[in-house]
Copies of this chain bind each other. A is one copy, B any other.
Amino acid sequence: MPRKRATIREVAQATGLSPAAVSYALRGMQVSEETMERVRAAAAELGYEADPIARALASGRTNMIGLLCGSLEDLWQQSLAVGISRGLREKDRYALILDAVGDPARERALAQQLRDQRVDGMIVQPVDPAAPFWSELCESLPVVAIGDSLAGTAGEVVFDNRRGVTLALEHLHALGHRRIALLTPTMTSTPDRPADVLVTAEADRLGLDIVVATAPHGLAAATDAAHRILDAHRPSAVFCFADSIAYGVYAAAAELGLSIPGDVSVMGYDNHPMSGLLTPGLTTVDWDIDGIVRAAVRLMSAAADGGTRRRRVVQQPTLRERGSVGRLPGVGGP
């Protein structure tokens, strides 16, 4: 039977000190070297370990960071979450991982709940960056935003999506594609995602014909969506705004008997590790996931420790050419 844990009072009793002194000693403040040693010894002896709950109540700090993901159906976001969780653990913090499943309403509710849980800070991939509650939230605790810019955040790891889109579209254009379908992740209620806007703008510049559709992240659902758009529009290329959606295009193409890149080219976005294993390999816009993880963890740690200087890290993409985008006949090649 695991007996009751020792309390700070017992340690105080054992050392002949006050609980306050013990509390200070264990955190290395305001006490003599000798007392500290004595307290440490007694604590070890009694197997004392401060209760995180009581500590949280008294100090207002929990050592937890909320991680609010846009949609964990997305394998890339899964990797991100795992990486961040691991990074935080190395800094002796816990990640409370929550999934907004692409729904702004749920995002709002979960953010609320995380705040109620008294997390020391939040790392978010906003589903609806324009939502007004963010600015309030940022006032009550440090927030680090990933992907989208948020007013009042302590830190931001933003993607140069403009550049990413240009990279992708110019590549498609150079290989002769003109009729392109854009498949962006479904968001329950935010109509013009930056992706749509950026892509259509850039498409205009390049003289491309773009048809826009959305797809959920899950493989089965993405496959359905891809199936529909391939059927309806027969684009020469599909630009997926997440690799996990591109996977759905692969599946749909197989169902329809279309070859990639022979009948349809596929361009991804984010470069999940699995993308290199497909046949053909997925040509995609690569974002350095390790860099993002490191930046997010660093910014969050700094902010949670009080170093409130607002910082912004901009990630630059590169094009990772593999085999899924082909040259269209009728265009002079090398």
Q: Which residues of A contact B (CB under 8 A)?
A: 1-2, 49, 51-54, 56-57, 62, 72-73, 75, 78-79, 82, 85-86, 89, 94-99, 116-118, 136, 139-140, 219, 247, 250-251, 273-274, 276-279
What are some 19 contacts across the A-B interface (CB < 8 A)? A1-B139, A2-B140, A49-B116, A53-B53, A53-B118, A72-B82, A72-B85, A86-B99, A89-B98, A94-B98, A95-B97, A96-B96, A97-B97, A219-B277, A247-B277, A251-B276, A251-B277, A277-B278, A278-B279
- Knowing A1-B139, A97-B85, A99-B86 are in contact, say whether A117-B52 is a contact too (CB < 8 A): yes
Bound CA span A98–B81, Å? 11
Point out the residues of chain B lying under 8 angstroms from A118, CB to CB. 51-53
Bound CA span A274–B86, Å? 24
In the complex, the chain B residue whose C-beta lies closest to that of A83 is B72
Q: Which of B2, B98, B250 contacts A136 (CB 8 A)?
A: B2
- Knowing A78-B78, A96-B96, A97-B95 are in contact, say whether A52-B279 is a contact too (CB < 8 A): no
In the complex, the chain B residue whose C-beta lies closest to that of A118 is B53
Bound CA span A234–B192, Å? 54
Task: Contact check, B96 vs A52: say whether CB atoms are below 8 A apart.
Answer: no
Q: Which of B49, B56, B274, B279 contacts A247 (CB 8 A)?
A: B274
Point out the residues of chain B lying under 8 angstroms from A89, CB to CB. 98-99
Bound CA span A255–B251, Å? 25
Point out the residues of chain B lying under 8 angstroms from A94, CB to CB. 96, 98, 117
Q: Which of B57, B85, B96, B116 contacts A99 (CB 8 A)?
A: B85
What distance in Å separates the Cβ of A328 from its nearest Cβ neighbour in chain B?
A: 23
Q: Which of B57, B95, B96 contacts A54 (CB 8 A)?
A: B57
In the complex, the chain B residue whose C-beta lies closest to that of A251 is B277
What distance in Å separates the Cβ of A136 from its nearest Cβ neighbour in chain B?
A: 6
In the complex, the chain B residue whose C-beta lies closest to that of A136 is B2
Bound CA span A73–B94, Å? 18
- Knowing A2-B139, A95-B97, A139-B1 are in contact, say whether A116-B277 is a contact too (CB < 8 A): no
What distance in Å separates the Cβ of A232 from its nearest Cβ neighbour in chain B?
A: 23
